[in-house]
Amino acid sequence: MKITKVETIYVDEFWQMSWVRIHTDSGKIGLGETWYLPKSVSAVIHEIYAPSIIGKDPMDREDIWDKLFRLSGIFTYSGAELRALSAIDIALWDLVGQELDQPIYNLLGGKVRDKIKIYNTVGSYGKWQDNEFEKKDPVGFLQSLLDEGIDVVKAYYLNDYAQASGGNFISSKDIKQALEPLKKQRKALGDQIEIAHDGSGQWALAPAIKIGKAMDEYNIFWQEEMIHPLNAKSHLKLASEINSPVCAAERLMTRYEFREFIENGSAEIVMPDLIWTGGISETKKIATLADTYQTPIAPHDWTGPINVFACAHISMNCQNVMLQETNRAYYKGWYDKFIEPNIVIKEGYLLAPEGAGLGTKLKKSVFERPDVHVEVSTKAYEWEPVGFRDPDQKVKHFFSPNLPKDE
């Protein structure tokens, strides 16, 4: 099995979402996904990564991952380069699963569970306007989740207040006002539902501690990204000052950035975002690293349908996954427009995907949309980071591996 073609796809309606399809000479097509700046991701894939993997065997995904990661290291091992690598890695796992007629979790070592507990992050799409629902009726919103068997939720109580001061100051009065919905929810529902809080990385350390302490009386399930994950010691300080576990962080890239947060205990719950941090290959390694420190992981996914499937395979395979993020407004509102089949959620649990590979694919109708953008690469060559051709070059080297051709 050899890679013959690489496609990138995005649609204007969901202008931050991008998909990658990798075609092979066997006729099988692997599917991957990432989120944020699809034009940048496409540029990386078609200028650097696709030419480097065309002709390669998808079975060699560790070798492919390592070589693409080294190419990403020319500029910080992050950004669009790592998002593109994440999408490609997912597609390679999908291909191998299809070729071997096995779900990805079997390739990772098999299942440790048949379903994973989910939590719901508030979102909106179409008739599922949960953001508005939550603001108008915070108790009713949570009750609607409980009625579906979902008893863990993530909320954003203070984000609007961070913008006024750049996250550097918040008054006790504002905290009290911001937490009124939470107070109502706890008074009405007690401990029937677990409530996690996400600060979206908007606060400085001092106000983050102040907020965390004020929220402690409400038995918060975790405090997620109250501060940017730029300093592990700051996270450790936050963890030492509040009662709720500190969760970090979707914005950390690869095991190399997660390592310090895991080793020093500043991430009491580890939250890799699979479509940013290196795909299935890297998330499995992050989970294993966290497991050596008896630390649970909770895969982050507030984006697209392929990420949910990819995270589900990690969740079924890794014993230290505590629960998985989902968004009711998304999986009920728009995932069906793009994939078949959709994820299956019953009584607050995401069921293990069925079928080979990821267990889903893009619908044909995606490619018939008037707002779809597709770019294709079919040629293999070695990328030249030097950025120009030297007509007098006689010897191949890393920065210029392609010798000038005789005219």
User: Stretch 367-389: mean pLDDT, rounded?
Assistant: 91
List Cα–Cα distances, 349 to 88, 104, 346, 391, in angstroms. 28, 19, 5, 61
Which pLDDT value is given to residue 350? 98
- Give 87-125 pLDDT, tens digit per residue: 999 999 999 999 999 999 999 999 999 999 999 999 999
**Rounded Cα gap, residues 109 and 106, in angstroms:** 5
Which pLDDT value is given to residue 407? 41
Q: Which domains does the chain carry?
A: 3-101+371-377 (3.30.390.10), 106-357 (3.20.20.120)
**Banded pLDDT at 310 (limits 50, 70, 90):** very high
Buried b (16+ CB within 10 A) or exposed e, 8-43: bbbbeebeebbbbbbbbeeebbbbbbbbebbeebbe
**Rounded Cα gap, residues 134 and 180, in angstroms:** 12
Contacts of 62 (CB under 8 A, 6+ apart): 281
| Residues paired with 129 in a beta bridge | 124
Residue 225 has pLDDT above 90, yes or no: yes
Residue 392 tokens read as: 């007098």
DSSP letter assigned to residue 10 = E
What amino acid is encoded at 366 in this protein? V
DSSP letter assigned to residue 300 = B
List Cα–Cα distances, 316 to 47, 74, 100, 254, 350, in angstroms. 35, 35, 19, 21, 10
Report how far apart the first and last C-alpha atoms of the chain are (Å, whole number).
Answer: 34
- Give 324-356 pLDDT, tens digit per residue: 999 999 999 999 999 999 999 999 999 999 999
**3-state DSSP call for residue 4?**
strand
Number of continuous H segments (helices) and E segments (strands) in the chain:
16, 17
| Residues paired with 361 in a beta bridge | 340
- Give 136-151 pLDDT, tens digit per residue: 999 999 999 999 999 9
Task: Give the H/E segment covering residue 17.
Answer: strand 17-24
Neighbours of 239 (CB within 10 A): 20
- Give 168-180 pLDDT, tens digit per residue: 999 999 999 999 9
**Rounded Cα gap, residues 42 and 307, in angstroms:** 18
In DSSP notation, 361-391 reads EE-GGGGG-TTEEEEEE-------TT-S--T
* Average pLDDT across the chain, whole number: 95
**Banded pLDDT at 406 (limits 50, 70, 90):** low
Of 289 and 390, which is predicted with more confidence? Answer: 289
**Rounded Cα gap, residues 46 and 52, in angstroms:** 9
Cα angle value 252/258/262 (rounded, 5°): 135
| Residues paired with 339 in a beta bridge | 362
Portion of the chain with pLDDT greater than 70, in percent: 100
